[in-house]
């Protein structure tokens, strides 16, 4: 919904917009609506069995590119059956024997390479996004500190926004965040108010000096 602008919002009704989920269930129960006690669902409605990979293979035959698992230096660690099976930050289901847990760092749909590494490699200092929509219709001043959420159930991260022109923005986190995934939405909040959002196109790596500082901080915590 972050893509909705004022023209659309002015003609939109949200019938249960001011009710909590418990209130909706109570209302449904009091009116004998059959789904009042139905279990919560977080699945995609058209993939009810949760088998996303198989759905993609049927819906887009020939586009589920197989490829390699590679490390940060490009060394091959194994092969996989398709990039559609992996997402940034994923740890389970890789099927790679290694001395330490590996996480998906990036997915290259063009080459089929899935880059994996230690959890530290997931840290990002910011992101570049496009298709930005500001709910009020007016872009904020560069440097505005806002709350950015980069995925479902993300707790939100303090970040500063900068316009790059032509609907593109750069977001810089106050503290590095993990698993910034190109293709997903980033939505901006001020408390409960949605300020706008955009589509993530690129994640920005943490500068080497910042990584060293993070390592020092971790060592200090452990000592």
What percent of the chain lies above the pLDDT cut of 70? 93
Q: Calculate Rg over the CA atoms of the chain.
A: 21
58-93 pLDDT, tens digit each: 998 888 899 999 999 999 999 999 999 999 999 999
Q: What is the pLDDT of residue 52?
A: 87
Element containing residue 177 per DSSP (H, E):
strand 168-178
| Distance in angstroms (rounded) separating the CA atoms of residues 81 and 99 | 23
Find out whether 145 and 159 touch, Cβ atoms under 8 Å.
yes
Tokens of 39: 């279990």
pLDDT at 204 over 90: yes
CA 39 → CA 23, 33, 50, 164, distances in Å?
15, 14, 15, 44
3-state secondary structure of 25: helix
153-181 pLDDT, tens digit each: 899 999 999 999 999 999 999 999 999 99
């Amino acid at each position: 919904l972050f893509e909705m602008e004022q023209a659309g919002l002015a003609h939109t009704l949200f019938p249960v917009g001011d009710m909590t989920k418990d209130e909706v269930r109570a209302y449904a129960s009091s009116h004998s609506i059959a789904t009042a006690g139905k279990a919560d669902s977080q699945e995609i409605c058209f993939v009810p069995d949760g088998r996303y990979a198989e759905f993609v293979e049927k819906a887009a035959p020939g586009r589920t590119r197989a490829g390699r698992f590679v490390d940060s230096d490009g060394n091959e660690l194994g092969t996989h059956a398709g990039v559609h099976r992996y997402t940034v930050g994923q740890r389970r289901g890789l099927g790679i024997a290694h001395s330490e847990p590996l996480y998906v760092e990036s997915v290259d749909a063009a080459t089929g390479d899935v880059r994996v590494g230690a959890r530290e490699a997931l840290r990002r200092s910011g992101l570049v996004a496009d298709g930005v929509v500001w709910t009020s219709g007016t872009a904020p001043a560069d440097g505005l500190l806002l709350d950015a959420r980069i995925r479902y159930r993300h707790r939100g991260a303090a970040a500063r926004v900068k316009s790059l022109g032509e609907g593109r923005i750069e977001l810089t986190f106050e503290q590095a965040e993990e698993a910034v995934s190109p293709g997903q939405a980033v939505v901006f909040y001020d408390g409960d108010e949605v300020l706008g959002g955009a589509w993530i196109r690129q994640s920005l790596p943490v500068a080497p000096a910042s990584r060293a500082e993070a390592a020092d901080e971790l060592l200090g915590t452990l000592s």
